[in-house]
Amino acid sequence: MVIFLWIIFTFVLLVLTLKYYFGTTRWCKSTVTLNGRTVLITGGNIGIGKATAIDLANRGARMIIASRNKEKAIQTIKEINDKTGNDNVRFMYLDLMDLEVVRQFAEQFLNEEKRLDILINNSGIAGWAYKTIGPKTKQNYDIIFGVNHLGHFLLTYLLLDLLKKTRNSRIINVSSLMHLWRRARLTYDKGPNKDGMLYPDLAGYKTSKLANVMHSKMLSKILQGTPVTANSVHPGLAATDILMAPLKSVLPEKLYSIVDPIFRFISLDSAGGAQTTIFAAVDESLNSVTGKHFGHCRLARENKLAQEDKACEQLWDYSMKMCGLT
């Protein structure tokens, strides 16, 4: 009986410790309003992106939700209208799996929008995409690297002139804690694999999230002297589809029914996960801060590779090539 009680006590203590470490975060305290400003967010129809969009719309921003799922986006827009009273919210179709569609989106955006104050590259997919979508993008790159990095790289590049013209603009790349993992790597010298995938070593979630941080680093250097800043954030451990879907796909149903509520208890909800993105988008203390990485609404640790100028420059050069910009 004593042993059983010790096991229960140890388990509860472990869960509470994990809750303290992963399930708490600083909240953005800024009361800045965004009246007259335009925000573009990718993947703003679900999860952390949706929570971010609701907060910024509540501050008065003109919100543009870019997504390939029109039905979910329209539902989200209605919810934003109801919760915030802000009806200055629109949907624009964007498929980050196809770079040609990204180009078409940018062309439409530049024709229809006169300013862009905040660009939030939020949309992302994880390992489950290999089964549900397929292994490759339209241009034969790894699907995860293509969506999480290349699509956003091209989108940002095509909108840079408008960001500069608007002035005091911000670019935010949503990365992940997983970019810190040692296995996140960037190698470019291997030829196509048997399925025709180009740069097959540029694969996986960790690698794509490392690329997000390095992209922000290079943007901050390239945009030096301009009225545009670029930073990256990690949302912390949040119980969103990008994490829960893989768990559900690999665990037996009964085990998942046990793990799911525990995981949700120890992790952040979407609103909590959105706080650092919101902080990076609006906090006045960051008006001139660029090239930094944030988590829990403060500076966060980066992968050492993101601090190497040559590595960041190499990623930039290859990304330009992969996107057909050189």
Name the residue with tokens 């013209």.
165
How far apart CA 43 and CA 67 sit, in angstroms, is 5
DSSP conformation class of 148: I
How far apart CA 208 and CA 203 sit, in angstroms, is 7
Q: What single letter denotes the amino acid at residue 197?
A: M
Name the residue with tokens 């770079």.
99
Distances (CA, A) of 255 to 14, 239, 259, 315: 19, 17, 6, 41
DSSP conformation class of 205: H
Catalytic site includes residue 130: no
Q: What single letter denotes the amino acid at residue 81?
A: N
Instruction: Report the half-sphere exposure of 33 (CA within 13 A, side-chain side).
Output: 5
Find the catalytic residue in 130, 157, 205, 256: 205
For residue 91, the surrounding DSSP H or E stretch is strand 89-93
Strand order in the sheet with 89-93: 89-93, 62-67, 38-42, 118-121, 169-174, 228-234, 293-295, 298-299
Pairing of the two strands 118-121 and 169-174: parallel
Alpha-carbon torsion angle 225, 228, 229, 234, nearest 10? -160
How far apart CA 159 and CA 118 sit, in angstroms, is 11
Annotated catalytic residues are 205
